[in-house]
Amino acid sequence: MIIPHSRILPRAMLGSNLLPLVIAVNVYLASLAILGGLALVSATGQWSAELDQLVTVQVPPEAGVGREAVVKSVLGVLRDHPAVAQARPLDAAEMEALLRPWLGQSAVIRELPLPQLIDVAMRPEGDLDSLRKRLEAEFPGVEIDDHRLWRDQMQDISLAARLICWSLVSMISLAAVAVIIFATRATLESQNELVALLHLIGAKNSFVAGEFQKHFLGIGIIGVLIGLVPVGLTIASVLYLTGNDPAPWMGRLSLGLFDYLLALTPPLTAALITMLTARFTVLRALADLD
């Protein structure tokens, strides 16, 4: 009795049960690495954009008893200026909170001659230079700080963090590709006798390669689906535990549809690599038999 080629393959290729687990682990690590990198880029970009629109106006303590009137006048100018979206003076509790990391919990803070700080939110197209000139002209001694030096330093740190993050993403992705190729080829090594048998009974090379290709594509899809389950659970857990705000000082994380589609690159790549590795490995084995 002649056994059809298509019935030989499924029965003989049952030794690849661990390959889906290998694919799943690598899909999980690569997807989380990409999502982490995208979250960092999104958060730092949002933080930088918000910082660009924030300035601080300082009314010096030398104004003495008339400082409250000066502060009120400065607030009037700020709120009427077309470049300003919002202006708010910091109260004593907020001033103490700003100094507490350096001076600790001490009553001395209240006795220090501190300037009155005013938080100013600029409009996106607001002209900061015109605002600065008007304040300097009407209120000598009042300073406006746009945090330029500190902002530039933080942007450099942010850029370095992004480069490191994407380097790690690239390394994890390359490692995942290498592991999947190695695991697929190692699994196929145990099928050399089957390949030789199919070749001996006259099966065409394209048929044999196609059958192995379909089989390992199925394995790759199973591994991808297994890996995506913990990815979804991890993301849901992080968002639930942190309220979508794991780094409050950097703002809320916002990932768009394109970001999530980019995170699907490892699963799609894993399945494709598994399929192609199986095909070319079998074709090379058949070429050696010829």
Q: Which amino acid is it at 103? A: L
- Burial (CB < 10 A; 0-12, 13-18, 19+), residue 20, is buried
Q: For the chain, give the number of residues.
A: 290
pLDDT for 15: 45
Low-confidence stretches of the chain (pLDDT < 50) are: 1-8, 10-15, 246-251
Residue 24 near residue 180 (C-beta atoms within 8 A): no
Global pTM value = 0.63
Instruction: Compute the distance between CA of residue 118 and CA of residue 120 in angstroms, rounded to an integer.
Output: 6
For residue 120 the two structure tokens come to 């100013």
Instruction: Compute the distance between CA of residue 266 and CA of residue 270 in angstroms, rounded to an integer.
Output: 6
Beta strand 116-122 with 84-89 is antiparallel
For residue 206 the two structure tokens come to 């394209």
pLDDT for 16: 54
Residue 26 near residue 180 (C-beta atoms within 8 A): yes
pLDDT digits (tens, 9 = 90+) for 127-181: 888 888 888 888 888 888 877 777 777 777 778 877 887 787 788 778 878 888 8
Dihedrals phi, psi of 89, to nearest 5 degrees: -75, 145
Instruction: Compute the distance between CA of residue 224 and CA of residue 155 in angstroms, rounded to an integer.
Output: 37
Taking CA atoms, 182 is separated from 10, 46, 50, 104, 160, in Å, by 22, 40, 46, 57, 33
pLDDT for 14: 41
Distance, CA of 223 to chain centre: 23
pLDDT digits (tens, 9 = 90+) for 106-122: 666 667 778 888 888 88
Instruction: Compute the distance between CA of residue 232 and CA of residue 243 in angstroms, rounded to an integer.
Output: 16
3-state secondary structure the chain: CCCCHHHHHHHHCCCCCCHHHHHHHHHHHHHHHHHHHHHHHHHHHHHHHHHHCEEEEEECHHHHHHHHHHHHHHHHHHHHCCCEEEEEECCHHHHHHHHHHHHCCCCHHHHCCCCEEEEEEECCCCCHHHHHHHHHHHCCCCEEECCHHHHHHHHHHHHHHHHHHHHHHHHHHHHHHHHHHHHHHHHHHCCHHHHHHHHHCCCCHHHHHHHHHHHHHHHHHHHHHHHHHHHHHHHHHHHHHHCCCCCHHHCCCCCCHHHHHHHCHHHHHHHHHHHHHHHHHHHHHHHHHC
* CA nearest to 30, candidates 253, 162, 227, 277: 227
pLDDT for 256: 66
Instruction: Compute the distance between CA of residue 105 and CA of residue 267 in angstroms, rounded to an integer.
Output: 52
